[in-house]
Structure 1
Amino acid sequence: MPSETPQPAFVLVRPQMGENIGAAARAMWNFGLDRMRVVAPRDGWPNQKAVAMASGAGRLLDEAQIRTDVAEAVGDCHFVFATTARARGLTKPVYSPEGAMAEAAERIAQGQKVAVMFGPERAGLENDDVAKANAIINVPVNPEFASLNLAQCVLLTAYEWRRAQGNIEARRVDMAKADWAEQIEIEKLSDHYEARLGEAGFFFPEHKAEGMKINLRNMWSRMPLTRADVQMLHGVLRQMVRWKERGD
């Protein structure tokens, strides 16, 4: 059975190649979506090429709803998006994938059923298909090469759905079993370097010494150091001092 997680239904309209259906299923499952509807697949159903391409997402194909036409596929939905590279002369709101999935998330949170239609590989959705949609999703692609592969379009839209859920970190650091250094540890490291550099005559001329020390401390504070980093830098300086003393 499909998961209970609130989500849009992805409707593949008259897909031509089983491989693309399987790739679309895989893309959906990559981002936690599992409600696929397939309208009049050209090569019939079930499709072994789709199963092979789906890899670990075969469950989506087993549970996919097969429909004879678009009206039947989206009949239970409150709001329908149509993905297309052009509006085809129809007056409709046009969303970016990001904006569309944010709108979908808001409507689904209100209890509405939302569907996203994807057209067949050769020419995309027809005017009659798009006319049944409430809004259009238009991907900002190269205007000289606007055609997207079916699975690519599904993946892009599924990714934006995932983003709309707030589950994607814009940036993170994998700590590899390390901890960030505390301010007191950075301060002691700074003191250590300042003392040894002072002994080495680094802070010269004297009237610039204070500014040089501030710049050095500012440099340490800008560096995202772990405790292991701090220990290593202490060790580097100690070894250099020992080497210098042996040289003397």
Structure 2
Amino acid sequence: MSGTNRSITFESGQGPIVVLVEPQLGENIGMAARAMANFGLTEMRLVAPRDGWPSEKARATSSGALHIVDAAQVFDDVTAALHDVTLAFATTARERGQMKRVLSPQESMREAVAEFSAGGRVAILFGRERSGLDNDEISLCDAITTFPVNPAFASLNIAQAVLLTGYEWFRTAHGEALPFAGEIRSPRAPRAMAASFFDYLEEELDRVEFFPPDKRPSMMRNLRDVFLRRDLTEQDVRTLRGAMRALILRRRRDEAQGRDEAPAPDEA
């Protein structure tokens, strides 16, 4: 729940109706509702849920998407659930041999956006946990939508299928802008600042005899490359220099303490 911000009001507008056909477990209904809420979908319809409705298990697993669970409508069959729908997609992971268009989620959600623009209503059908949608139910839909998944393990949990479809809907309807951006608060370090740091690093590495004499130039070039490959900012250089200074001062204190504690020559 770390990404939930109840102070934000998001106007999702129209979105496809999610129709779950004979869902077996209340937990899966709740998780599907959560996936819907992630991407601004608000209307859920249930066709003959096995364990009846309402379901406390669905409410418990919705992770706060109670507005979807509590408003869900229940229907006896798919035909009734689609009574006011003008465009319907059936989700399936299996080829059915039906004379039906097969679309990717991206393609189907582009059609959904166009249908809403024309004043229509759109639904996406998701089948039973064990067997999915049957061919008669698929025949009631305009097209099939399926996902590019591992063909040897193509079965998706209902909530996973809703999540993937919801993502494509949100991306198509609302754009691909990310909810927040990384901010570089420090300007890129001037070359003189970086050079000063490298001189400091080189001097201290010489002090501890880090470089083999024959490899010193190439190793120092490699060290410069390591740092400059990531576009050092001023803050980066200050942090690196401060960390090195702390290590160096600690080493020098330890060395001085060792000399103070060493016995005088006439005491040895």
- Would you say same fold, with TM above 0.5? yes
The equivalent position to 1:125 in structure 2, one of 127, 133, 137, is 133
Unaligned runs of 5+ in 1: none
Residues 1:77 and 1:193: Cα distance change in structure 2 (over 3 Å): same
The equivalent position to 2:175 in structure 1, one of 163, 166, 170, is 166
| C-alpha distance in 2 between matches for 1:72 and 1:197 | 75
Q: Is the 8 A contact 2:12 2:41 kept in 1?
A: no
SS at match of 1:232: helix
Q: Is the 8 A contact 2:129 2:158 kept in 1?
A: yes
Q: Does 1:229 align with 2:236?
A: yes
TM-score, normalised via structure 1 length = 0.76
The equivalent position to 2:194 in structure 1, one of 190, 197, 211, is 190
- The equivalent residue for 1:23 is 31
Question: Cα distance, 1:218 vs. partner?
Answer: 6.5
Question: Cα distance, 1:32 vs. partner?
Answer: 2.1
Q: Does 1:7 align with 2:11?
A: no
Provide the alpha-carbon RMSD of the alignment: 3.6
- The equivalent residue for 1:152 is 160
Q: Does 1:41 align with 2:49?
A: yes
| C-alpha distance in 1 between matches for 2:201 and 2:237 | 17
| C-alpha distance in 2 between matches for 1:170 and 1:127 | 40
1:208-241 superposed Cα distances (whole Å, 9 cap, x missing partner): x8x9999887765531434431212344566789
Residues 1:216 and 1:39: Cα distance change in structure 2 (over 3 Å): same
| C-alpha distance in 2 between matches for 1:59 and 1:172 | 29
1:160-209 superposed Cα distances (whole Å, 9 cap, x missing partner): 22333324539954x5xxx44324x3323223145557887x9x99xxx8
- The equivalent residue for 1:79 is 87
Question: Cα distance, 1:128 vs. partner?
Answer: 1.2
Question: Cα distance, 1:152 vs. partner?
Answer: 1.9
Q: Does 1:181 align with 2:189?
A: no
- The equivalent residue for 2:259 is none
| C-alpha distance in 2 between matches for 1:60 and 1:108 | 21
Letter in 2 for 1:187: R
Letter in 2 for 1:233: L
| C-alpha distance in 1 between matches for 2:118 and 2:219 | 60
| C-alpha distance in 2 between matches for 1:242 and 1:22 | 58
SS at match of 1:66: strand
Residues 1:74 and 1:192: Cα distance change in structure 2 (over 3 Å): same
- The equivalent residue for 2:263 is none
| C-alpha distance in 1 between matches for 2:141 and 2:179 | 32
Question: Cα distance, 1:92 vs. partner?
Answer: 1.8
| C-alpha distance in 2 between matches for 1:20 and 1:241 | 58
Alignment identity in percent? 46
SS at match of 2:148: coil
SS at match of 2:62: helix
SS at match of 2:53: coil
Question: Cα distance, 1:10 vs. partner?
Answer: 0.6
Aligned pair count reads: 237
Q: Is the 8 A contact 1:101 1:161 kept in 2?
A: yes
TM-score, normalised via structure 2 length = 0.71
| C-alpha distance in 1 between matches for 2:251 and 2:119 | 73
Letter in 2 for 1:5: G
SS at match of 1:130: helix
The equivalent position to 1:55 in structure 2, one of 52, 55, 63, is 63
SS at match of 2:99: coil
| C-alpha distance in 1 between matches for 2:250 and 2:24 | 73
